[in-house]
Amino acid sequence: MLSNKKGTLVLCVDRDNDIGVKTGIETPIIGKDNNLDAASKLALIDPEESDANAIFGAVRTYNSLSEESDKEEYEVATIVGSELGGIKADKEIRKQLVDLLKKVNSNSIILVTDGFSDEEVLPIIQSHAQIISIKRIVVKHSERIEESWAVLSRYFTKLIDEPYYARWFLGTPGILLVALAILWYVASEYVGMVFLIFIGSVLVVKGFNIDQKIGEWIFPSPPNLIRLFTSSIAIILIGVNSYQTYISILEFLPEPSLWLKEIPKVIGYLMFFATNLMVLAFCILLAGIGIYFYLMRDSKFWWSIVGVVATLWMREVFLRASDILLSSQPIPEVIQNLIIVVGLGIATTLITTLITRNLSRRFESYFDRYEEKKDEKS
C-alpha cells in the first residue's frame, strides 16, 4: 500500500470481469501477492485467458519499477468491469477506480492491458488520473496464427508439388525470367514491352479460360464433338453464304463504289440473298448446342428450342422486309404481311417459351443432375 506520499499505480483492467466470473475473487485486487494469487487461480481455471497474462505482466512491471527506484513508491492493482459489457462495464470500472485511488493515494497510472479494451478504458481512467505509460501484454503463441501458418504451408507445398499448380506458380515465371534474360542480352529496350505483353497474355488466357476451351476443342468429349461438328458446318455455311450473297448483289448492282448511294437496295438484296443459308447455319448451330445441352443434362437445352423457333420466324421477317426495301414504292399489302409475320413470330415464340418452361418443370429431375455436378465442382 502506498503511503501518504502520492506514488504511481500499475493498473490492470479486466473490462469483461473474467476474474470475478471464473474465480469469484472480490475486486479491486490490491497488492503484489493478491494479484499473483488471482492470476494463478484464473490461469488454472482457464489457461487460454489473456487477462491472467495481463495481471502477470502488471506484477512484473511493478517488480521492475520497484527494483529500479527506491525513492518513488509503486503499487499494483486490478479492477474489473462487468460481463454484460457496454455502459454497465464502464460504470463498474469507474466506480472501482474511484475507490482504488482513494485507497492507494496515487496521482499517476501505468496501464497494463491485453490490448483488446484500450479504447474503451482509456477515457475512463484519464478522467480520474494521469496515464504516464501503457503496456500491452500480447501472448506470443496463438492457435489461430499457428493454424494459419499450417494452411499457408500446405498451400505452398501444393503449389510446388502438384503439376497443375506448379506450371503456373513456377513454370510460367521461370519461362518469363528466361525470356527476359535472353531479351535483355539481345535488346534490352524491349524488355518492358515484352514483359507486359506476356503477363497480359497469361491473364487473358486464364481469365477467359481460353486454355480450357482449346483443350476441349482439341480433345473433345462426345457432346463437345457434336457441338464442334455443327459449329464447323455453320461457319462453312456462313462463309459460302457471304460469297454467294456478294456475287448475287453484283448481278443487280455491278458497281460496288455506288453501293453507298443505294444503301436501302443493298440492305434489301443482302437480306433477300443471305437469309436462307444464314438461317440454316444458325439452326444447325443451335441444334448442335441443344444436343450438347441435352447430353450434358443442362436445362439450357430448352432455350435452344426457343432459339430455333425464333430464328425460323426471323427468316420470314427478313424476307418481308427485303420486299419493302427492294420495291420502288411501298406496297400496303407487303407492309401488312410484314406486320402479320412479326405478330405471328412473337406469338409463336411466346407459346414455345411457355411450353418449354412447362416441359422443363416436368423433366426437372433429368436436368437436375447437371446442377448437382456443377455444385460438386464448385
Q: Alpha-carbon distance 192 to 183, whole Å?
A: 10
For residue 227, the number of C-alpha atoms closer than 13 Å in the C-beta half-sphere is: 20
Q: Who contacts 199 (Cβ-Cβ below 8 Å, separation ≥6)?
A: 176
pLDDT in tens, 102-129: 888 787 888 888 765 656 778 888 888 8
DSSP 261: G
Q: What is the pLDDT confidence band of residue 160, given thresholds at 50, 70 and 90?
A: confident
Place of cell 448446342: 289
CA dihedral 143, 147, 150, 155 (to 10 degrees): -160
Q: Alpha-carbon distance 332 to 77, whole Å?
A: 101
Q: Alpha-carbon distance 241 to 243, whole Å?
A: 5
> What mean pLDDT is predicted for residues 21-41?
88
pLDDT computed for residue 158 by the predictor: 65
DSSP 262: G
Q: When comparing pLDDT for 258 and 346, which is higher?
A: 346
Place of cell 412473337: 346
Beta bridge partners of 182: none
pLDDT computed for residue 298 by the predictor: 82
Q: Residue 109's closest CA among 9, 5, 1?
A: 9
* Mean of the per-residue pLDDT values of the chain: 80
Q: When comparing pLDDT for 303 and 138, which is higher?
A: 303
> What mean pLDDT is predicted for residues 247-268?
84
3-state secondary structure of 9: strand
Least confident of 192-196, 222-226, 354-358, 369-373: 369-373
pLDDT computed for residue 377 by the predictor: 47
Contact yes or no for 83/16 (Cβ under 8 A): yes
Phi and psi angles of residue 11, each rounded to the nearest 5 degrees, phi first: -115, 130
Contact yes or no for 65/10 (Cβ under 8 A): yes
> What mean pLDDT is predicted for residues 153-172?
70
Q: When comparing pLDDT for 197 and 74, which is higher?
A: 74
Least confident of 92-101, 191-200, 273-282, 311-320: 191-200
Domain boundaries, the chain: 7-140, 144-214, 220-377
Q: Alpha-carbon distance 140 to 131, whole Å?
A: 26
**3-class DSSP string for 60-118:** HHHHHHHHHCCCCCEEEEEEECCCCCHHHHHHHHHHHHHHHHHHHCEEEEEEEECCCCH
Q: Alpha-carbon distance 99 to 222, whole Å?
A: 83
Alpha helices in the chain (DSSP H): 18-23, 32-45, 50-68, 86-104, 118-126, 143-161, 163-166, 172-186, 191-207, 210-218, 222-252, 263-295, 301-326, 332-362, 364-377
Least confident of 122-136, 186-200, 303-317: 186-200
pLDDT greater than 60 at residue 170: yes
